[in-house]
Amino acid sequence: MQDLNTIYFEGPDGTGKTSIIESLRPILTGAALPVMHVREPGGILYHTGNLDTPELLPSLRQTILQEKLRSVMKEGNYSRDPLVTALMMQAARVETANVIEEWCDAQGCGGVVLSDRSKLSTIVYQSLLAPADRRVPMDTLRQLLGMPSRLTRWSCFPRSHRRYVLVYGQLRAEDHDALAAGHRYSDVEAAYREACDHIPDAKRRDTIVLDFSGVERPPAETIALGLTALLGRDIREAAVARYGNQVEQAYREIKGAVSRLD
């Protein structure tokens, strides 16, 4: 069985994470790779293959819980206790993890999971950048975020290669005011880098930084295709087999924005 490749896209709002994921998805499926697209908070947005089997239907129905939790959290008036938010996020995360593992097992192979946000955002916004009266202690978050390995047989994707992609720069105009009212952009960027130190699977050498702050930003499709050269051997080889020299050409266009945490 091939390993599962899990790619977490992180960074401030408006930096283009979702656009890159939505462009990367058809590139990977075009290269004959099984793909699942998930979001946090929330559940499954897209998947290849058939989840509507008798064995997987119960798991598929569980994704309804994730989306309901997302709606509640977006309303923002459900609780004054920040720990409640962290618990709701983790509940949705565990449910999604169970479905991903069963999806992977049902295919008899690995594939690629593209995740729009992850545990890093929980650490950034509920601890590192949270006001003192709304902050969840880091020790509490560390214990909470380690729960999937004890609650489910997912065990943090034991057959998974995990990579984080931090996307910076080129905020949407409407997000400037939101950041100005809360935190400086540089503080948000620094918090995401620091958060990687609190997540065991966020290995610094495997964390890709895409910073378009001072670099001309190519189309999302070009960014996504260039990224396939950086996301591990399975993805790179499949992309090159399908798209040939286009992968290297796209990578050259984003190379100036690419760095590693180390």
Q: Domain containing 22 — which CATH number?
A: 3.40.50.300
**89: which residues sit within 8 A by CB, 6+ positions away?**
40, 41, 69, 73, 122
pTM above 0.85, yes or no: yes
Structural domain including 185 reads 4-260
Go through the chain and tell me how many residues it has.
Answer: 262
Q: Work out the end-to-end distance of the chain between its first and last CA atoms, rounded to an integer number of angstroms.
A: 31
Q: Residue 202: pLDDT above 50? A: yes
* Over residues 51-69, mean pLDDT: 59
pLDDT at 31: 94
**How many of the other CB atoms lie within 10 Å of CB of 56?**
17
* Over residues 145-165, mean pLDDT: 61
In 31-107, alpha helices (H): 57-75, 82-107
Q: What is the pLDDT of residues 239-255, one digit of tens each?
A: 999 999 999 999 999 99
* Over residues 196-218, mean pLDDT: 83
CB-count burial class (<10 Å; 0-12, 13-18, 19+) for 72: middle
pLDDT mean across residues, the chain: 82
The total of structural domains in the chain comes to 1
Place of tokens 């490749």: 5
Q: Residue 125: pLDDT above 80? A: yes
pLDDT at 78: 67
Which contiguous run of DSSP H or E holds residue 127? Answer: none
pLDDT at 85: 85
